[in-house]
Chains A and B, each alone.
Chain A
């Protein structure tokens, strides 16, 4: 017989985790589809009773997003403009019904290359708080998601929060999702950008792309190329001219690798322009 437990607080949850293997159940929006019509074969630790893991708070030098915080919670919460990209991504996760159920930690732990939450969180320098009964550790998001469906989560651990250093919350951000229909669609590619502008010059740039590699990636070469540029056409020109070695897309039913490569550059341009104050759609093509 498998076990089912619904602890009331984090300590109880961690104690349970320390005494055997469990599958964690949050919003269930990845958990159940992944199950298909197979029966549950692992113990289920339902974390939906852990109210302390839901919500967004300022804690010292960080903005801390509880693991169970839903996409709707994020959309509704007043946050600095650097979170605009994350909010835009939140609005594009599935549908409203999904956004009401689904949690931010679930999106990261599921580790899909197409997880919409990852690129904006990468541009926010997010780190993942992992706790076990004996240890708390903080891993940069880059080091947490290791591959397709693979994370650094250790036995006995759970994600308790996503932490965003306040130092990474300057500027404005944007998110562009590319799908084959308007809504309720898995991303062909998505891009997030956070730009800090000082005196009309890019002081800081954080850009990330998802669905074009096993794990969403920061485009560090491009970020360096953007820094110091004046806001204006130079940004788009630079995106066009800079090589993006991080992109390693594949062919699948959603799109060809070749298309992804071209389209990714375009949505990166739009995200960068939008984050630097240009509306992404108001573009006069040549």
Chain B
């Protein structure tokens, strides 16, 4: 039985609740003491090790593999190649909706990118499997690699991201540009980036007849079960995924990949458990990345600095055999008021693995560029960048005219600017130096992120001892989901979070939806909330119908759940504990269940977004071009905050990612071979602690009555948006040099070697 009880429910009130408290992570102690077992820590008896042999060319065919040599190596049990790979029940070149990708699982001898699996070696030890893979000594028929604009294949794409339209037009863009007093136009490039979660993709697969247990890090349990079931021709219920802990995912663990499917297949073929864990280098190919983009912005402005047109064109890279690409231009749709907006995309096919969603897919690369273009337009209009954004503030969603379910961006601008000290900023660049002669610059950007909601289910069990067990198959990637979800459930159950046990991360539990799109807390949280409310309703029924209870007959007046007791609504003094109610009823427990989904009518009537404003200070060494981000202040409004400590941590993580995007991250491709030259964490740079300045994340209070009954928006990705542009704009303000590609490199900024006096006002 499930229930869909409207909020606020009669039994429940927000005040004095456990939500809103800055609790530390429930899984924290397990993690810091090494007791948290990650997927690859599982070693069932009789387990074999699988290692993928991967292609070293970007395009062509495998013409020979020395399978005999590999098999002859002691300990090697089997070698899977296209010649003997057992059949799959689903065609890997056919996508499984809604998030399916084409996967490379040895369906033929073609090579489509570097690091594509071309064989799987299974052995008694990791060492033997690794050596077996090396002994395969592949021979290739090599075709030239398509690695960039000059040789990639352009195509029209009907969709971008996960099914978003590739072209959205509001108003007449040409008329808007014609009416403009000024048109600011520029081209920008964002690089390929790789997720690089600390924990590599891994799986330990164990079959029992036609049932399979998969220990693997996974962000989308139910969807993945369904997809594996399709590949292996078994019911979805026969796939059990256990994913209690993830060492980061950032989108790359929401999507099935070839190596994992092959390992599962090998386990079935050999009837023994098989483990596969990718190496760091092998993660640069088959498990997704943020695709490169080439973006053109045209901003028309009138005499008052108001936009007359906003045209965002994106050429986005994808693989030669699939379609996912950064929906970057769509970042220009929800933010600034303009009578004409055109967001459009074209595709570029390269010989790389297929890109996939990576933290703030589309928004990160689109916002990075939009915010720089806005800065350029503000300067062209002679306006302060913040003043310019306020002049183009969207009171309703641009284009659609829908009201925002809530929008506190003005407050974000104001609070952020105040905390940062923005008002003292000179308009011209290169006006500030510190005591050591470093150039100082200030920049800002607007942050925005949508609020998706995934259908989810949950169960809440009130137990005889007055504690509760709540269950949903969610995913804690390190963001603190266990903790925030338990807080939401505890609030609904009128219990302290310590009294609530949360089971999550196993696919046999009620579907917790996807940990993605910054929608997990809202989605799984609402399901848990509803389940808790349902359990309390059932408990209330027992009590109010029992003549021996002090709550007898209160059915119409209602009761309230608080501190483990039900209270009569009109008489605080009459109450009874959960255990007393259950004991007298002779029940060991009551179970509440719920399904939750977004109300389509609410979604249709409103524009649903989190907002924020980020302010950055950088210091640039004029002779070396080194950039130090010395201060970052972000102010974010994202509805109701369940756990401010975790939320702040998400904002910090996003803002640090913004530093990374602006100044460091880039996969560098060898144009001759299509190989990535920095496929390791020594050369693929992300910031170290010393690169991260004092961070300040301000939580702007926001009450959203529409986004969902909890009023919760998302916080996981928004921190990247806004930050990248803010840093790039601060670099311009420090140096007078406008860099239009990311990351900004040291060599872009040897400003003492250059004449930059003419840079202002152009």
- A: residues with CB less than 8 A from B are 37-39, 178, 180-186, 188, 253-256, 258-259, 262-263, 266-267, 281-286
A71 to B622, CA, bound (A): 31
Q: How far is the CB of A5 from chain B (nearest CB, A)?
A: 21
Q: Is A184 a contact of B688 with CB atoms below 8 Å?
A: yes
Residues of B within 8 Å of A39, CB to CB, are 127, 130-131
- B: residues with CB less than 8 A from A are 127, 130-131, 134, 279, 433, 435-437, 622-626, 628, 664, 668, 677-678, 682-683, 685, 687-691, 745-747, 750, 752-753
Q: Is A267 a contact of B624 with CB atoms below 8 Å?
A: yes
Q: Is B747 a contact of A281 with CB atoms below 8 Å?
A: no
Contact A188/B746 with A37-B279, A182-B691 known, Cβ cut-off 8 Å: yes
Q: How far is the CB of A226 from chain B (nearest CB, A)?
A: 19
Question: From B747, which residue of chain A is reached at the shortest CB distance?
Answer: A259
A215 to B313, CA, bound (A): 47
Contact A263/B664 with A180-B746, A285-B437 known, Cβ cut-off 8 Å: no
Residues of B within 8 Å of A185, CB to CB, are 685, 688
Residues of B within 8 Å of A259, CB to CB, are 625, 746-747, 750
Residues of A within 8 Å of B624, CB to CB, are 178, 263, 266-267
Question: From A265, which residue of chain B is reached at the shortest CB distance?
Answer: B623
4 residue pairs, one from A and one from B, having the closest CB atoms: A182-B690, A259-B747, A266-B623, A183-B690
Contact A253/B683 with A37-B279, A181-B691, A182-B688 known, Cβ cut-off 8 Å: yes
Question: From B686, which residue of chain A is reached at the shortest CB distance?
Answer: A181
Q: Is A38 a contact of B436 with CB atoms below 8 Å?
A: no
Q: Is A38 a contact of B134 with CB atoms below 8 Å?
A: yes
A39 to B129, CA, bound (A): 11
Q: How far is the CB of B748 from chain A (nearest CB, A)?
A: 9
Which of B134, B628, B664, B690 meets A180, CB within 8 Å? B664
Which of B436, B625, B691, B750 meets A283, CB within 8 Å? B436
Residues of B within 8 Å of A266, CB to CB, are 623-624
Can you identify 30 A-B contacts, CB atoms within 8 angstroms? A38-B134, A39-B131, A178-B626, A180-B745, A181-B664, A181-B685, A182-B688, A182-B691, A183-B690, A185-B688, A186-B683, A255-B745, A255-B746, A255-B747, A256-B747, A258-B747, A259-B625, A259-B746, A259-B747, A263-B625, A263-B750, A266-B623, A281-B436, A282-B436, A283-B437, A283-B623, A285-B437, A285-B622, A285-B623, A286-B752
Q: Is B750 a contact of A37 with CB atoms below 8 Å?
A: no
Residues of A within 8 Å of B689, CB to CB, are 183
Q: Is B683 a contact of A263 with CB atoms below 8 Å?
A: no
A188 to B690, CA, bound (A): 18
In the complex, besides A181-B687, A183-B691, 7 extra interface pairs with C-beta distance below 8 angstroms are: A180-B664, A182-B688, A186-B683, A253-B668, A259-B625, A262-B753, A266-B624
Question: From B688, which residue of chain A is reached at the shortest CB distance?
Answer: A183
Contact A262/B750 with A182-B691, A283-B436 known, Cβ cut-off 8 Å: yes
Which of B127, B623, B677, B689 lies at the interface centre, i.e. has the most chain A CB atoms within 10 A of its CB?
A: B623
Q: Is A263 a contact of B746 with CB atoms below 8 Å?
A: yes
Residues of A within 8 Å of B691, CB to CB, are 181-183
A272 to B626, CA, bound (A): 20
Residues of A within 8 Å of B677, CB to CB, are 253
Residues of A within 8 Å of B436, CB to CB, are 281-283
Contact A253/B678 with A181-B688, A259-B746, A285-B437 known, Cβ cut-off 8 Å: yes
